[in-house]
Amino acid sequence: MFTTTLLTAPSSPHLDPALVENLRNAWGGGAAQWLAPDEAAEFTLPRMPDNRWNVWADLQTVGVDLVIQPDRGRRKKMLLADMDSTMIQQECIDELADLAGVGERVKDITARAMNGELDFEGALGERVELLTDLPETVIAKVLDTRITLMPGGQALLATMKANGAYAALVSGGFTAFTAHVAATLGFDENRANTLLVDGGKLTGKVGLPILGREAKVGALKDITARLGLTYDDVMAVGDGANDLGMLKLAGAGVALHAKPSVAAQCDIRINHGDLTALLYIQGYAKTEFAGV
């Protein structure tokens, strides 16, 4: 048995009941259940439709995300999340670079690295080197004035944790930022790279070993083993090429507003919804959201 979830952006909900009913009838699905009026609905299916991705592409043009997944085990016991452009709306290194006067150069490298065009570790080292001698105090300034949470993140964390899930933040970014974001949202632990500082200034170096794609996979394996969970118990979410390993290994790997080359390799693609989409695809109704 499979479950089909249809959802739109919470900021402008426009899910048409007629669209839901027409698709349900075309695919021979069960009765539609509305998880949030005008925003999210689901219905069961006996089998995976052959035209799944054609319908997905059509729905994208009208601002609707479509997710089809096995019904069994949809509610996950662990959340493994990327930070930059996933739990927050920015790339921290780009914001630091902007204040250092090398913003455009670093943004270009970041975009290419997240799209899988560059080796992540090499690209990180190149970008951090451009921050050499930047005052350490700039980190706090970026946190205070430039970093905003991705919509839906607080509801996602509060609801999953209220239902017994464990939450880990794993980032190719920096501990100075993950510690703050993890504490703000309620993550149980966070892992990231360390910006090295000497005399109150960034040295242009990163502490080794660098946390990249394989380290995110390692975090999934390590934490599930420690908690006695399986990979199927995990929902992972990210947007960049360095997230693909964990997205593919997790029971539910969500490409959230991801780079096209990344989304194309994932079965769960959220382009219009926010982080509450991760609750809807687990079958949570909006009335069950915690912390909102």
User: Which positions are annotated as active-site residues?
Assistant: 82, 84
DSSP string computed for 136-194:
THHHHHHHHHT--BPTTHHHHHHHHHHTT-EEEEEEEEEHHHHHHHHHHHT-SEEEEE-
Whether 142 contacts 136, CB under 8 Å: no
DSSP string computed for 89-132:
SS-HHHHHHHHHT-HHHHHHHHHHHHTTSS-HHHHHHHHHHTTT
How far is it, in rounded angstroms, from Cα 67 to Cα 162? 24
Please give the radius of gyration of the chain, using alpha carbons only, rounded to the nearest integer: 20
Whether 243 contacts 113, CB under 8 Å: no
How far is it, in rounded angstroms, from Cα 264 to Cα 262? 5
Which residues is 120 bridged to in the sheet? none
CA neighbor of 20 nearest in space, from 70, 30, 279, 54: 30
**29: Cα within 13 Å, side-chain hemisphere:** 24
How far is it, in rounded angstroms, from Cα 179 to Cα 169? 9
